[in-house]
Structure 1
Amino acid sequence: MTADGVSTGSTAGEDWTPSERARARSAFRRTQRRRATLVATVASVVVLAGVVYVVTTAPGWERAREAFFSPERAWEVLPDVAAGLWLNLRVWLVAGVVGLVVGLALAVVRTSRLPALFPLRVFALVYVDVFRGVPLLLVLLLVGFGLPALRLPWLPVSAAFLGGLSIVLCYTAYLAEIFRAGIESVHPSQVAAARSLGLTRGQAVRRVVLPQAVRNVAAPVASMLVSLQKDSGLISILGAVDAIRAAQIATTGDYNFTPYVVAGILFLLISIPLTRLVDAWSARQGWRGQLRGVSGAGVVR
């Protein structure tokens, strides 16, 4: 630098070069990564080749290939199965939105200490315990055949509605427990600090607790929504013509099960990208499952 304060040389950062040991460590890491990639690739190819060999050399392979993997039959039934999948997607979206809203409301009620909300807390506790303890398939059967028997004039009795209602009832209970774990993960000092600034308890919960709670449990909530997309196919047992029901109709008469394979592939084309996006987003957010009791299947109490 000159007397006028003008820099005449490069900065210290531009002059920095890694030491010989640092370069050796970097080269070693690159070698290890290349070796690990090579080993993983070779192992995957060997396992895949072994599976293909076992399957294709089985005595009944030709018959199974015609019954499950017929390209002509797959192309023939693809439009009907895809149309059924559109119903699954609509049920998934509606059930996901309703489940998130109602589940968050139940979690807020469960964690509230207002005496006036005691009856609602009891209701939320019973609701969560019941619908987390009963299998989804049983709820589908009870709701799908029980509610129409009441002959309520204002209640839709379509299979898609009743199936979606059953899914909402079950998944709302799981989402409520996940949100409750997120709310309880926020330290009480956060509420005390908000109250000291003049916020009411309701404002503290809405502006301080809930934003942190939702951020803390965003990863398991996203995983539950992916699982909900898969279970939307269970509405077929009530007669809704979704992807699975359309595949079942297509197999009637010829006993060719390729439509089921087509339905499975369509579900995978949606669920696998969603799962990978959730995993990538979770890793980016630094999620490592710090919340105790939170799992992909709900909250263990």
Structure 2
Amino acid sequence: MAIAMECTVSPIQRERDRYRRRQACKSTLTSVGSTLLLAALVVLALHNSPGWPHVRETFFSGPYFMESLPKVWQGILLNLRVLCFTALIVPITATLLAMIRISRSPVLFPFRVLTQAFTTLLRGIPMIVLLYLIGFGVPGLGVFGGISPTVLGTVALIVSYSTFTSEVLRAGFQDVHPSQRASARALGLTSAQTMRLVVIPQALRKVAPALMNDFIGMQKDVGLISVLGAVDAVRAAQIEVAASYNFTPYIVASVLFICASLPFILWNDWYTAKLRKRELSAGTV
């Protein structure tokens, strides 16, 4: 069977495949060469900078790195716990907000107005300001008693990212062609079944890269809960810097945040390229 398939390939196609392999090899070698050249120039520039020895000792000290790593690691575990809880709640609340926004039911009219006002106002407030408003305003009410700064920071993250994610989902829901809904209703599906089986799956495929970008942004903004006093990776690094007057703990926190977000960044890039390749495959020569 393989021999028969090989025989069906025309000489023109085999020549085209060889040309593409040569071009791919040439592109790879060029990319590697340019990367090595750039890295060499950066290293040379840093090495010849007058203040590089001081910066290296202040920001890239090996002993301080290993000394602060355990405490910053404990802080990043708090960030990851907050991230996991936020990542579970945000999709649910964002989906509800988006479905209310696109609903045309007269009964939901006041909820649509409130949802629109909520998303409009919250998207205009910087994340750190929202953290201050919730972190210091809610305890000031004296209704809920003592609340952990971690809980207040988590609530602020959920409120903020629910509004952004809901707008991404709403755009995805509205991008599904009306004929899809009409066809589903013609087959006897209810409105809820149409949304669950037809609209949401198609919308998620369209907005998956944007949702992943929001998730990556949320993963970084989790470090802002330190402004409320929660001892996360950023706060732990600040404590270590205050004790040693060396900024290497910030590098430790940065490395841990990068390690936590890198898999999702790579997956997002891969999935985006996959979607683009599938969309353009019909026009590929």
Q: Which structure has the larger Rg?
A: 1
Q: Which residue of 2 aligns with 1:104?
A: 95
Equivalent of 1:53 in 16, 24, 44: 44
1:180 and 2:170 are equivalent in the alignment: yes
Q: Is the 8 A contact 2:212 2:264 kept in 1?
A: no
Q: Which residue of 1 aligns with 2:26?
A: 35
| Structure-2 change in CA distance of 1:207 and 1:35 (3 Å) | closer
The one-letter code matched in structure 2 to 1:90 is: R
Deviation at 1:14, TM superposition (A): 4.5
| Structure-2 change in CA distance of 1:23 and 1:163 (3 Å) | same
Q: Which residue of 2 aligns with 1:94?
A: 85
1:137 and 2:92 are equivalent in the alignment: no
Q: Which residue of 2 aligns with 1:242?
A: 232
The one-letter code matched in structure 1 to 2:135 is: G
Q: Is the 8 A contact 1:219 1:287 kept in 2?
A: no
**What TM-score comes out, normalization by structure 2 length?**
0.91
Q: Is the 8 A contact 1:69 1:258 kept in 2?
A: yes
Matches within 5 A, 1:92-241: 92-153=83-144, 157-241=147-231
**Partners of 2:26 and 2:195 in 1: how far apart?**
51
Query: Identity, % of aligned pairs?
Result: 41
Whose helix fraction is larger, Structure 1's or Structure 2's?
A: 2
Secondary structure of the residue aligned to 1:64 is helix
**Partners of 1:242 and 1:34 in 2: how far apart?**
46
Larger mean CA deviation between 27-36 and 193-202 belongs to: 193-202
Deviation at 1:192, TM superposition (A): 2.1
The one-letter code matched in structure 1 to 2:47 is: T
Q: Which residue of 2 aligns with 1:276?
A: 266
Please give the per-residue CA displacement for 1:196-251, whole angstroms capped at 9, x wherever unaligned.
23333233223322222223222211221121111111111111100010000001
**Aligned residue pair count:** 280
Q: Is the 8 A contact 1:183 1:213 kept in 2?
A: yes
CA RMSD of aligned residues (A): 2.1
Larger mean CA deviation between 185-194 and 56-65 belongs to: 185-194
Q: Is the 8 A contact 1:175 1:221 kept in 2?
A: yes
| Structure-2 change in CA distance of 1:289 and 1:18 (3 Å) | closer
Deviation at 1:149, TM superposition (A): 0.6
Q: Which residue of 2 aligns with 1:260?
A: 250
Larger mean CA deviation between 80-89 and 179-188 belongs to: 179-188
Q: Which residue of 2 aligns with 1:85?
A: 76
Q: Is the 8 A contact 2:59 2:251 kept in 1?
A: yes
The one-letter code matched in structure 2 to 1:159 is: P
